[in-house]
Amino acid sequence: MNIAVDPAQLRDRHGVAIIGAGPYGLAVAAHLRAANVPFRIFGEALSFWRSNMPRGMTLRSPWIATHIADPARRYRLDDYYRLSGMAVPKVLPRENFVDYGLWFREQVAPDLDTRAVTRVEAFDGGFRLMLEDGDSAFARRVVMAAGLRGHEFRPAQFDAVPRALITHSSEHMSYEEFRGRRVAVIGRGLSACEAAAFLHEAGAEVEMICRGKLSWSDDPGKRGALRKAVRAVLGNALIPPSQVGSFPYGWLNELPGLIHRMSQAARDHVNARSLGATTILSIRPRLKDVALDQGRTIFAARKVGDGVSLTLDSATKRYDHVVLATGYRIDVDHMTMLEPGLREKIARHGGLPALNGEFESSVPGLHFAGAAAVASFGPLLRFIAGTGFAARRIARAARHGAEFRAHAEPAALSLAAERNAR
């Protein structure tokens, strides 16, 4: 069925719609604004950080890698702290990063539309966005920057247990409700260690269960003799700014453009070696009274009375609750706001969209930023440090597209008016 298009509607259509107002969405907004490309940005600012990160957590990334990117470098963490009159902390609390993100949003996206986008569909050479209140918006390009929400990984062994007894770590801002209860934490990365520490400090009886052993990313005892000797000579030259991945991958990860030129097999190798489950040494003292069962395989989980029974390769254990700190697996099929026909057209690798050098998918005009770009650009895109690279590339594509349309659009509008008059 052909849908008549009002030429005025085409003329008023925004160049770019950004879905998501986290660090990546805001960075893209900052770069589009600087490039004079019209855009609209949708979503609650820093919503995942505000609603799905535990109170009291601190950011792992180094200070230099935690600025949300803006092309003029006017809205960095240093600027926020200077203007707020606060002293720069040794480690960055989540609450302060959220406040920084909200301040950044005020500078680059004061007209943020906080309505949720419920559906995105292809429409007459662009896209139509349906909003939660029934309104609609149109764009020539869409940037998916919706983050990790909806992509929580839940192992199949836990599918038969009611969600009230098995939760994902992203569902908890606080663990006070588990005081006096026996809780298992599944996982061995930083989120698992933080969940276990918060649970213990809230008064729960906690046990961590994981397939492998905990890996302490900054434990000097883990360094090989050669690495120690080289570091003694070169000092911090071995440490890349973003500190994503161990040596030598860390420096390669600083170059997502180079990683994009590598074969997919090589990119997969870099991601596997750089995004493994590790935690930071500073959290170890908080876990000294937490039981740890390493090297275990969980065969099954089932509801028993008011609790959960876990069948392991070594024993069967019972808990009042289980927290899955099992991370996230981005999958286009979970992006349900994209209408099914649109999703089917997106070429993928392992569930993630395959992207060209400007973060554009196999659907022309549909871009993906953030963790969804890891398969194409490497580990840096999983972290705030990647916001600048992604935003620059996407803004370049949008700017070039706008320049092309400036010449082509008058003829297109005339043709649309003639078609509608028939």
Question: Is residue 250 a part of any domain in this protein?
Answer: no
Q: CA separation (Å) from 410 to 10, 137, 159, 172, 401? A: 11, 21, 55, 52, 15
Q: What are the helix (H) ranges across 109-213? A: 190-201
Burial 301-339 (b: 16+ CB within 10 A, else e): beeeeeebebeeeeeebebbbbbbbbbbebbbeebebbe
Residues 173 and 313 in one domain: yes
In tens digits, the chain (422 residues) has pLDDT values of 333 444 444 444 569 999 999 999 999 999 999 999 999 999 999 999 999 998 888 888 899 999 999 999 999 999 999 999 999 998 899 999 999 999 999 999 999 999 999 999 999 899 999 999 999 999 999 999 999 999 999 999 999 999 999 999 999 999 999 999 999 999 999 999 999 999 999 999 999 999 988 888 764 334 445 455 555 555 556 678 898 988 889 999 999 999 999 999 999 999 999 998 888 888 999 999 999 999 999 999 999 999 999 999 989 999 999 999 999 999 999 999 999 999 999 999 999 999 999 999 999 999 999 999 999 999 999 999 999 999 999 999 999 876 655 544 444 444 444 444 44
Residues 199 and 71 in one domain: no
Spatial contact of 256 and 394, defined as CB atoms under 8 Å apart: no
DSSP letters, 52-108, are SS-TT-B--S-GGG-SPP-TT--S-HHHHHHHHTPPPPSS-BHHHHHHHHHHHHHHH
Residues 37 and 123 in one domain: yes
Residues 184 and 314 in one domain: yes
The greatest distance separating any two alpha carbons of the chain, rounded to the nearest whole angstrom, comes to: 79
Domain boundary among 324, 345, 362: 324
Tell me the sheet residues that pair with 152.
328
Question: Is residue 378 a part of any domain in this protein?
Answer: yes
Residues 297 and 211 in one domain: yes
Question: Is residue 72 a part of any domain in this protein?
Answer: yes
Domain boundary among 291, 324, 357: 324
Spatial contact of 167 and 42, defined as CB atoms under 8 Å apart: no
Among 75, 99, 326, 51, which residue's Cα sits nearest to residue 210? 326
Residues 284 and 387 in one domain: no
Instruction: Report the distance separating Cα 185 and Cα 189, nearest Å.
Output: 11
Residues 293 and 411 in one domain: no
Tell me the sheet residues that pair with 360.
367
Residues 165 and 298 in one domain: yes
Question: Is residue 304 a part of any domain in this protein?
Answer: yes
Question: Is residue 199 a part of any domain in this protein?
Answer: yes
Domain count, the chain: 2
Q: Which domain holds residue 317?
A: 156-215+277-324
Q: What is the CATH number of the domain that holds 203?
A: 3.50.50.60
Question: Is residue 221 a part of any domain in this protein?
Answer: no
Spatial contact of 317 and 310, defined as CB atoms under 8 Å apart: yes
Residues 348 and 302 in one domain: no
Residues 67 and 39 in one domain: yes
What radius of gyration do the chain's Cα atoms show? 23
| Structure-token pair, residue 397 | 């594509």
**Residue 216: its pLDDT value, please?**
81
Residues 33 and 97 in one domain: yes
Residues 84 and 168 in one domain: no
Cβ neighbours of residue 349 under 8 Å, at least 6 residues apart?
A: 264, 375, 376
| Structure-token pair, residue 280 | 């930071």
